[in-house]
Amino acid sequence: MRLEGGCYCGNVRYVAEGEPMMKAQCHCRECQYITGGAPNVFIAMPVAGFSYTKGTPKQFTRTDLERPVTREFCPECGTHVTTGRSGFGGDRQGGHAR
């Protein structure tokens, strides 16, 4: 499977290749903050098959949480692009490509 996507303004683009490791919805409070209150719908893709093809996202990690994740987003329009957790899915942060 090959997924291509990016942010609202087009400054950050990515490609994710491989078989999805998980397709799910997360209803945790942190994901609700990111979506504005709704569940966070995501696909977890292999880290080895993920790369940015345009732009460089900004990153944010909350340090006050027990199991923090790193969220990547467009520095121009603010679109949330990926979420990753250390140790999930490989060498890079790993995690979800939306």
Each residue's pLDDT tens digit, 35-68: 999 999 999 999 999 999 999 999 999 999 888 8
Residue 2 phi, psi (nearest 5): -125, 125
What is the reported pTM? 0.80
CATH architecture classification, 2-97: Beta Complex (2.170)
Dihedral angle over CA of 63, 39, 50, 84, nearest 10: 20
Q: In the chain, where are the structural domains located?
A: 2-97
